[in-house]
């Protein structure tokens, strides 16, 4: 591979970079969705990127648990939770339940209440956006856009110009005083146009005739959640005016996010000068729909067929406003999802559900009987058991005996394959597929005392829809597609990790990697200059 900056004919060439980098994270997109629906995709959406771009076919998350906030943080920092500190969407820190983006020192901008009290301050490392800012003396523009706050904030990083996310109460995109004191005028006007109302104007019908959705189970099946105002989980799905939270579970939520991204590119003039800019777009609707219905659902298939159209329109917009081969774009996911356990069991495939809430309550009862106290356990969350060390020390209870009691109790549960302390994980040579992911996900101040590994195809949730969080391929194998400036056409079946994305972007842009990046450069995708 030749260096971009080379000497030719005695003259030094100017260092070349794309005008704009766009990262698209499709929340809960399993790798196989690229191919399950391939024959139904248009030529100008996913297929365009697959045919003209570079496809990293074997990309995995390398840590546990496989959740939304750690996924977005890992993509853009090139680090794992043990380094960047985002160990879940929520965690317990200093004996308090903590939401990953919560920041009481800031207030909402463009909205009210806790929906706007968000910032990246819990993120302990820098992002590729921060690295780009440092490399250009902060002249590069960096933005994040998503319906979920965590899908906008962590990708954008600490020094971003802004992150914008969706407020269910108003149907507006909002931000916080971490970034600004008031929304830019263009966004105020965007919100005033009530695009959220337009997105709720029609019920959700299938894009094509229902009988053509052969890659999905029957529309009316017992494995899917009911919407509050419906009697069956079937098409068409009714919408209710002014109930903006619905947009999180409708494909039009993705369309709204792309509309917002286009307006941001236009009005903030991204990609229009010699300095590379970065736009981070996270599509949250796919996650809400996936949780509600599961990978076998017609709703999921229809969502991705509509997303394909949105991507095609977005690529066309970038071609016109930035210029073909003037931008670099990647598409990936923060995690995948399991098939619904009862759906698997209906086809004689082993699976099951073990609720963390039920396990927590049962453990509290067992601990009270064994140690005569109901204050030993703080919680069971993130597939971890959290103990109340302050109480245990105050009452001089036997900590190690308590841990061993919990381990023995948990391993008797049908859905749990292993339970062990993180100390055991460090000292024992287990040589199992989940050992290293557990260590990579362990940030001591925010993690529990005992890690739980569920049996394959078991998870902690209800009997409808699905969830994620495991090391298994259904949760950890994600798509990674590259397209545009500096990207060679092709594919690779070498195993890559989420952390390799930031490292490869840094190589592409010839900038230093983020300060905790452990990823490797995906050499084949870089086009020789």
DSSP per position, 467-514: ----SSHHHHEE-EEEEETTB-SEEEEEEEETTHHHHHHHHHHT-PPP
Report pLDDT digits (tens) over 441-458: 999 999 999 999 999 999
Tell me how far CA of residue 214 lies from CA of 39, 208, 243, 294, 417, in angstroms.
Answer: 11, 12, 32, 15, 35
Q: Give the tokens for residue 445.
A: 């101040």
Rounded mean pLDDT of 119-145? 98
Predicted pLDDT of residue 12: 62
Predicted pLDDT of residue 6: 35
pLDDT value at 4 more than 90:
no
Rounded mean pLDDT of 5-19? 66
Predicted pLDDT of residue 525: 83
Predicted pLDDT of residue 433: 87
Predicted pLDDT of residue 423: 87
Catalytic residue (choose from 66, 68, 127, 276): 68
Predicted pLDDT of residue 11: 55
Rounded mean pLDDT of 72-80? 98
Predicted pLDDT of residue 31: 98
Predicted pLDDT of residue 5: 36
Predicted pLDDT of residue 3: 31
Q: Tell me what percent of the residues of the chain surpass a pLDDT of 70.
A: 97
Report pLDDT digits (tens) over 27-59: 999 999 999 999 999 999 999 999 999 999 999
459 and 338 in contact (C-beta within 8 Å)? yes
Report pLDDT digits (tens) over 196-229: 999 999 999 999 999 999 999 999 999 999 998 8
Distance from C-alpha of 384 to C-alpha of 188, rounded to nearest angstrom = 43
- Per mean pLDDT, which range of 114-118, 311-315, 522-526 is the poorest? 522-526
* Extended strands (E) in 132-179: 142-146, 162-167, 172-176
pLDDT value at 241 more than 50:
yes
281 and 163 in contact (C-beta within 8 Å)? no
Predicted pLDDT of residue 513: 98
68 belongs to the catalytic site = yes
Predicted pLDDT of residue 528: 65
pLDDT value at 426 more than 80:
no
Distance from C-alpha of 74 to C-alpha of 123, rounded to nearest angstrom = 10
Rounded mean pLDDT of 130-152? 98
Backbone angles phi, psi at 191, to 5 degrees: -65, -40
Report pLDDT digits (tens) over 482-506: 999 999 999 999 999 999 999 999 9
Closest CA to 196 of 146, 252, 152: 252
Quick one: pLDDT band at residue 9, thresholds 50, 70, 90?
A: very low
Predicted pLDDT of residue 1: 34
Report pLDDT digits (tens) over 427-486: 777 778 899 999 999 999 999 999 999 999 999 988 999 999 999 999 999 999 999 999
23 and 78 in contact (C-beta within 8 Å)? no
H/E element, 366: helix 356-371
Closest CA to 480 of 12, 144, 171, 26: 26
Q: Strand 162-167 vs strand 490-497: parallel, antiparallel, or unpaired?
A: unpaired
């Amino acid at each position: 591979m030749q260096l971009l900056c080379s000497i030719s004919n005695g003259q030094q060439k100017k260092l070349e970079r794309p005008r704009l980098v766009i990262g698209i994270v499709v929340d809960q997109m399993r790798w196989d969705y690229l191919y399950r629906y391939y024959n139904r995709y248009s030529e100008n959406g996913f297929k365009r990127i697959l045919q003209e771009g570079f496809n990293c076919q074997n990309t995995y998350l390398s840590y546990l648990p496989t959740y939304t906030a750690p996924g977005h943080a890992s993509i853009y920092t090139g680090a794992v939770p043990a380094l960047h500190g985002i160990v879940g969407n929520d965690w317990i820190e200093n004996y308090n339940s903590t939401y990953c983006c919560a920041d009481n020192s800031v207030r909402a901008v463009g909205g009210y209440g806790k929906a706007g009290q968000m910032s990246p301050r819990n993120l302990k490392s820098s992002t590729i956006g921060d690295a780009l800012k440092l490399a250009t003396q902060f002249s590069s523009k960096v933005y994040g856009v998503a319906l979920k706050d965590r899908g906008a904030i962590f990708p954008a990083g600490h020094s971003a110009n802004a992150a914008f996310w969706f407020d269910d109460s108003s149907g507006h995109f909002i931000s916080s005083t971490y970034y600004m004191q008031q929304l830019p005028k263009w966004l105020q006007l965007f919100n005033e146009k009530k695009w959220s109302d337009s997105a709720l104007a029609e019920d959700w019908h299938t894009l094509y005739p229902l009988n053509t959705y052969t890659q999905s189970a029957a529309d009316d099946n017992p494995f899917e959640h009911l919407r509050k105002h419906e009697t069956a989980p079937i098409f068409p799905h009714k919408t209710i005016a002014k109930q903006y939270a619905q947009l999180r579970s409708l494909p039009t939520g993705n369309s709204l996010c792309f509309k917002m991204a286009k307006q941001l590119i236009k009005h903030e003039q991204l990609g229009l000068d010699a300095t590379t800019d970065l736009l981070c777009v996270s599509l949250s609707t796919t996650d809400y729909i996936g949780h509600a219905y599961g990978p076998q659902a017609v709703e999921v298939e229809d969502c991705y067929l509509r997303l394909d159209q949105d991507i095609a329109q977005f690529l066309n917009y970038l071609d016109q406003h930035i210029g073909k081969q003037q931008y670099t774009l990647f598409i990936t996911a923060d995690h995948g999802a399991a098939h619904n356990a009862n759906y698997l069991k209906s086809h004689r495939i082993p699976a099951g559900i073990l609720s963390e809430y039920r396990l927590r309550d049962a453990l509290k009862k067992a601990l009270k009987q064994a140690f005569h106290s109901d204050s030993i356990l703080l919680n069971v969350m993130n597939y971890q058991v959290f103990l109340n060390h302050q109480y245990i020390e105050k009452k001089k209870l036997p900590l190690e005996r308590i841990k061993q009691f919990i381990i023995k109790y948990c391993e008797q549960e049908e859905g749990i394959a292993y339970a062990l302390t993180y100390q055991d994980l460090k000292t024992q040579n287990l040589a199992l597929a989940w050992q290293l992911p557990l260590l990579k996900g362990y940030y001591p101040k925010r993690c529990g005392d005992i890690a739980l590994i569920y049996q394959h195809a078991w998870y902690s949730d209800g009997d409808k829809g699905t969830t994620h969080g495991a090391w298994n391929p259904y949760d950890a194998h994600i798509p990674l597609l590259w397209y545009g400036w500096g990207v060679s056409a092709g594919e690779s079946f070498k195993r890559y990790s989420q952390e390799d994305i930031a490292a490869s972007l840094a190589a592409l842009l010839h900038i230093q990697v983020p300060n905790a990046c452990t990823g490797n450069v995906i050499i084949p995708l870089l086009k020789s200059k």
